[in-house]
């Protein structure tokens, strides 16, 4: 009891005056938030290059190993809104600090996993910590930073996320090559301890409004199993049989859960997903095409490590370095696209961006061979990323611009959810297609098998990503400029 009282008093004495009294205190806050943003984004892309090693170590299929990433992304998608609401009630500083601790424990458990189920469960725990960090980072900056420099501060936070996503393949490849796959999880522990310490000592105290926030628990309980059943059906349909009772039962249950979720969201006054916003054409098209864009990106990031390591016998370090070309192209193109969107509008840029991604993916599919031109493949990967970079800023801007100010927070949450679902679906679909076409061509997923079947299997899986990218481009052609949003008439709360 005395120890608990002492810890409570110590917590209440924070943040330290040596930080809060500084003129540049706000930038210490921003730096602390950037660590969490970097780590959460890094762990969404760092595992891709480890997939071949994980399939070998756990003697598992690519579709089963894909759950190491799918579980992380689905957890993020379903918990972001929950932790945003909890922070309104409990305070952002304690939840953000606790998020670091959860992330550290989850990372250590991932590194110590002795089997694949333990690794997947640990990734869920790790993602819960990441959701606490991501759900509160921008809000902490908004509350602590003056409006005169707030845009710059939020820009730093966004850059930290982009850098984490970009460096994930390279860092992951280097760590796997030097120390094995466990290192990609253990590396989070010291960085997380630094982040926890900084969060406790630096982040400002919360000014709680006293307003009791409501949360859509039933919406979460309906949506989570729906997503899990859909992803499980997609990843295991090939091995269990697409017409097997288990797979058909999963999809049937998923449909029932989806129907229940839609009815719940339309009737609840503070829904998890505001379904009425989808009456806005720009919002609906933008979220769907955004989902397709991240599906294409993570599909490529899932498929190519297997090709580089199984067919070309590249090390994880080399594979990760090559894959950095995708986020590199995205990082270079995105700022220029944002500036051009202000001049020409979103339609031209979103259409051309996804068309470029689709055509570059098509070229990549035809470049695959036992002795490919690797330089050409790197250029194609850069073009895939550049297309995504051209597409994303004007798409996000048009989605958020179609909403009234009273719905910006809800709309932003849906946009983030669509992004996470796109990443998860890209991983699941690519893993399934790779397994289906590899089996059809007489190949095996384990190392040491014939290399030839990997080429058509990877190529046909890429063709699916090409089709979905071009679908996003086609939908963007018909993107309309929202003059007056019907959501303007919506009440603040229902």
Q: Read off the pLDDT of each residue in 100-111 and give the average, rounded to a whole number.
A: 94
Distance, in Å, from the CA atom of 371 to the CA atom of 452, rounded to the nearest integer, reads 11
Give the torsion through C-alpha atoms of 368, 373, 374, 375, to 10 deg.
-130
CA–CA distances in Å: residue 4 to residues 7, 11, 276, 347: 5, 11, 46, 58
Give the containing element (helix H, strand E) for 367. Answer: helix 346-367
Mean pLDDT computed over 236-242: 81
Q: What is the pLDDT of residues 444-488, one digit of tens each?
A: 766 767 888 899 999 999 999 999 999 999 999 887 655 544 444
Out of 162-166, 216-220, 375-379, give the one with best mean pLDDT: 375-379
pTM for the structure as a whole: 0.83
What does the pLDDT look like over 53-63, one tens digit per residue?
999 999 888 88
Q: How confident is the model at residue 209 (pLDDT cuts 50, 70, 90)?
A: low
C-alpha to C-alpha distance for 322 and 329, rounded to whole angstroms = 12
Ranges 301-310, 319-328, 354-363, 404-413, most confident = 354-363
Q: Which of 301-305, 313-317, 340-344, 387-391 is least confident?
A: 340-344
The pLDDT of residue 213 is 60
List pLDDT tens digits, range 30-72: 888 888 888 888 888 889 889 999 999 998 888 889 899 999 9
Residues near 390 by beta carbon (within 8 Å), at least 6 away in sequence? 333, 334, 337, 349, 350, 352, 353, 356
Q: Judge contact between 303 and 434, C-beta under 8 A.
A: yes
């Amino acid at each position: 009891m005395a120890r608990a009282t002492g810890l409570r008093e110590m917590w209440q004495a924070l943040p330290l005056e040596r930080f809060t009294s500084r003129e540049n205190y706000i930038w210490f806050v921003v730096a602390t938030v950037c660590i969490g943003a970097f780590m959460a984004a890094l762990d969404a892309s760092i595992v891709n290059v480890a997939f071949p090693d994980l399939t070998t170590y756990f003697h598992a299929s690519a579709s089963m190993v894909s759950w190491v990433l799918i579980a992380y992304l689905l957890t993020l998608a379903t918990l972001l809104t929950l932790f945003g609401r909890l922070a309104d009630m409990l305070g952002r500083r304690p939840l953000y600090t606790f998020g670091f601790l959860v992330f550290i424990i989850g990372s250590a458990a991932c590194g110590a996993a002795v089997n694949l189920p333990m690794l997947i469960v640990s990734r869920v725990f790790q993602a819960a910590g990441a959701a606490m960090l991501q759900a509160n980072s921008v809000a902490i900056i908004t509350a602590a930073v003056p409006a005169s420099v707030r845009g710059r501060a939020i820009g730093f936070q966004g850059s930290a996320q982009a850098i984490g996503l970009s460096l994930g393949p390279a860092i992951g490849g280097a760590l796997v090559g030097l120390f094995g796959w466990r290192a990609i999880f253990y590396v989070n522990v010291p960085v997380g301890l630094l982040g926890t310490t900084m969060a406790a000592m630096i982040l400002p105290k919360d000014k709680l409004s006293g307003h009791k926030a409501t949360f859509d628990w039933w919406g979460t309980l309906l949506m989570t199993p729906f997503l899990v059943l859909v992803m499980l059906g997609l990843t295991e349909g090939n091995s269990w049989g697409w017409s097997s009772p288990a797979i058909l039962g999963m999809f049937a249950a998923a449909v029932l859960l989806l129907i229940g979720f839609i009815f719940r969201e339309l009737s609840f006054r503070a829904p998890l997903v505001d379904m009425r916003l989808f009456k806005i054409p720009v919002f609906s098209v933008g979220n769907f095409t955004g989902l397709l864009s991240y599906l294409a990106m993570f599909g490529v990031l899932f498929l190519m490590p297997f090709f580089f390591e199984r067919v070309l016998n590249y090390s994880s370090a080399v594979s990760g370095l090559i894959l950095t070309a995708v986020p590199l192209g995205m990082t270079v193109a995105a700022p220029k696209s944002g500036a051009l969107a202000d001049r020409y509008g979103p339609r031209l840029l979103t259409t051309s961006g996804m068309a470029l991604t689709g055509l570059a993916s098509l070229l990549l599919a035809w470049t695959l061979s036992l002795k490919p031109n690797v330089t050409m493949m790197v250029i194609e990967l850069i073009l895939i990323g550049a297309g995504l970079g051209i597409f994303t800023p004007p798409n996000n801007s048009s989605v958020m611009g179609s909403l009234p100010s009273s719905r910006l927070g809800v709309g932003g949450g849906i946009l983030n959810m669509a992004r996470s679902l796109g990443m998860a679906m890209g991983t699941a679909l690519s893993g399934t297609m790779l397994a289906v076409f590899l089996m059809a061509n007489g190949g095996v997923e384990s190392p040491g098998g014939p290399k030839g079947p990997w080429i058509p299997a990877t190529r046909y899986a890429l063709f699916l990503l090409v089709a979905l990218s071009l679908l996003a481009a086609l939908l963007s052609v018909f993107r309309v400029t929202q003059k007056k949003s019907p959501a303007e008439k919506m009440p603040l709360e229902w």
